[in-house]
Structure 1
């Protein structure tokens, strides 16, 4: 995959020179400059020229990276399946060439991935080095909060200066305009779409604006774009405790669990107390536990509490999200109304987290994303709102019942907001990202994408 990314990078760099050298009022490009991906003979890598600001189509232009895995049986080709792995920060171009999808999907669809702005090889925003040695994201008083706010504002200023104009034009609504430009460039009247996690935000917005161009859509592990700041943080806090409770049930019934026969809740509290004696100990331990619940890896969760595990996993990043901390400033902070202004607002948010989540003491992901957006000026460019998709076909929404990252309640709410245009497939098990969990989840999604057959309402849990 590294060679694929190098090929994409070379194409983007060359195309950028042409893009910015042209007149500001040049007409939009209508085709993608394809070339073989260096390390994947089945893959095509390319770029598409689009406006920097879609409200100014004759203004400056940029190039975004695209990759394609062509249907291996052209005679049975269904069409284009556009995909995104979420994050934010994941390379959809690399994801399109991955092996996540079943052989039948790869046989019958052209799988296409567009690196969303700021990610992969679409003008990547890279500012992680500006975030070294940050103050705690759990400020204890007004002075500590002011220190955090000052740090955030410094990062924003330096990252914007480094990144250039793309920094202020990378919200999800803008990305969906790029997605439809890809559709047009491919000459497709309609496309299908498969979005994971944060990629479901792109999906919701595309269905709202371009629903008539959709054949089918799968939203797997939903980030609810209608969530206000309270739900964005609070729903995840509840989901984190729910996932921990599921782990405890497993440990109580499983003799191989290293905490079997013990009071797991009591052992967890003791582990937190032990961690308090180490720098960032409690924060790191909670985040490590959160990661194990997201997988889930319950044996490791038990070892972590017992002290036999390691919290080094807390530094891990998702396979497709190497740029997450940078890109969330231009996506999450512009897609949701997360603007904590002072310590009083922070204290109210934190108190509600602790009220809703007495075990995990909140969701480290929800908390950190909210705090990272403190200091971002102005209203979000793409504010949350109630889903409105009257022109969309029946969309398949799929989510695990016990997902600490994207709470099941978010998927259920998407279905409640658009009952005519959505179908909810519930995986009765655990973890984040549902499609590959079982034959039922994979088979249900594949049948829907291939034949537009809406699957039954639930899939049984499979022991992790």
Structure 2
């Protein structure tokens, strides 16, 4: 199986670039009250900023300010240190995540200062926001002319977004964020840190473990991004995962009387609903996007209702996405992965493979959207893909759902295989994106590891939860 998982990886350089000692040191953080949201209760924590070099290759050059938040350990006498947490996205504000009540268990909050920082381009750290003034063409071009029009539009969008968000736009990849994370560790005065990253936050954790593995106390990577994936796997693995999730949804409808499609041919109704959505004046099929987002929870009851309503000719409003994901992905995802498509012939071959691997969901809305958004990016990626290489890191705990639409289970297996001596895999035998707070089993395994640094002796699994309605992570990150 491992040969199949890894054979199609395109860029496997074997190691991350070494990180030189910059000779630069941050100032200690001055903690103050956090900004209040008038629509939310006052945050239970404190906030500050850390200044870091804009370009870590020029530590004496311009600097930028990063927002940091901290929830202090409630049992300071038995404090174990700092737990940095990152929600991913990209686009999520991890300062808010660190102060979210109830995500971490009371035992973890008692023993750790939970700290989050807004990575470059997010939240209160040099927020990246593009200005979209033109109606975008569809991102599934049917011929060379449509492909050329899409490329021209993408080039204009990328150039405009870059100009609007300089200088941080050119220095927002995850390798730079990992350097920032070590600056925050030093500003906190901590010799080592623990870390929990979800979704795209797992790439931040992986790159930190590569750069500063000897500074890691414990690290949880929940729903992992595989940085070794070339464009074929980036698209194809997620297309397969999306269809696997849809089959799980259909099986749920078959056995659940409250499903709006119970007793019907779910696949036939889905095809009918897709046809209805195809006929609406939108740039792409919003129904597929809506159902894909419901897979994160998973929110099967909502997916069933929107499919039923659309098939019956009553389509609801289109889904809305959170944060500045559509903007920041141009500066982050397009620099962390090599998603450059040369011409229409290459696109046609890639898209045909997407449809072959994911005919039900017509590929992955997430992977396809990211790849086509990167169409107008020039030059090679600043943070090129490579195999995970963490010889100085301690044992890390990987978590992944068996059925995950955004970070396929095959990616967790690939990462585990790339670093077998440093990783243990916990498989959640259910559906959705984000594992830690799903069940008593998943929470207990993570808490035990964070508190004791002891991973299971062998890879383990936790059974699926029965509730398919509750979201697992605040903010529902994009990836």
TM-score normalised by structure 2 residue count: 0.88
Deviations 1:60-96 (A, max 9, x none): 1111111111111100111000111000011111111
In structure 1, distance between residues paired with 2:317 and 2:23: 48
Alpha-carbon distance, 1:42 to partner:
3.5
Which runs of structure 2 are paired with 1:45-444 in the superposition (5 Å)?
45-99=47-101, 100-127=103-130, 129-130=131-132, 133-280=135-282, 283-307=285-309, 314-318=318-322, 322-444=323-445
Higher helix fraction (1 or 2): 1
Alpha-carbon distance, 1:462 to partner:
0.7
| 8 Å contact kept, 1:78–1:109 | yes
Say which of 31, 36, 39 aligns to 2:33: 36
Deviations 1:219-255 (A, max 9, x none): 0011111111111110000000000000111111122
| 8 Å contact kept, 2:96–2:116 | yes
In structure 2, distance between residues paired with 1:131 and 1:314: 20
Alpha-carbon distance, 1:293 to partner:
1.8
In structure 2, distance between residues paired with 1:281 and 1:135: 6
Deviations 1:90-138 (A, max 9, x none): 11111111121111111110111111001111100111x3265211111
Q: Tell me the equivalent position of 1:14.
A: none
Cα pair distance change 1:313/1:337, threshold 3 Å: farther
Higher RCO (CA < 8 A, seq sep 6+)? 2
Cα pair distance change 1:174/1:26, threshold 3 Å: closer
| 8 Å contact kept, 1:436–1:442 | yes
Deviations 1:287-345 (A, max 9, x none): 11111222211122222222269765753224xxx110111011100000000122111
Alpha-carbon distance, 1:280 to partner:
2.5
Any gaps of 5 or more consecutive residues in structure 2?
A: 1-21, 37-41, 469-479
Cα pair distance change 1:340/1:115, threshold 3 Å: same
In structure 2, distance between residues paired with 1:287 and 1:96: 28
| 8 Å contact kept, 2:68–2:115 | yes
**Is the partner of 1:261 in helix, strand or coil?**
coil
Cα pair distance change 1:42/1:276, threshold 3 Å: closer
**Is the partner of 1:373 in helix, strand or coil?**
helix
Alpha-carbon distance, 1:435 to partner:
1.0
Any gaps of 5 or more consecutive residues in structure 1?
A: 1-24
| 8 Å contact kept, 1:272–1:282 | no
Deviates more, 1:146-155 or 1:171-180: 146-155
Cα pair distance change 1:353/1:38, threshold 3 Å: closer
Alpha-carbon distance, 1:282 to partner:
6.2
RMSD: 1.8
**Is the partner of 2:138 in helix, strand or coil?**
coil
**Is the partner of 2:217 in helix, strand or coil?**
strand
In structure 2, distance between residues paired with 1:398 and 1:410: 11
In structure 1, distance between residues paired with 2:197 and 2:321: 19
Alpha-carbon distance, 1:442 to partner:
1.1
Cα pair distance change 1:45/1:341, threshold 3 Å: same
**Is the partner of 2:70 in helix, strand or coil?**
strand
In structure 2, distance between residues paired with 1:149 and 1:74: 55
In structure 2, distance between residues paired with 1:340 and 1:41: 44
| 8 Å contact kept, 2:139–2:283 | no
Alpha-carbon distance, 1:281 to partner:
8.1
**Is the partner of 1:75 in helix, strand or coil?**
helix
| 8 Å contact kept, 2:441–2:462 | yes
**Is the partner of 2:45 in helix, strand or coil?**
strand
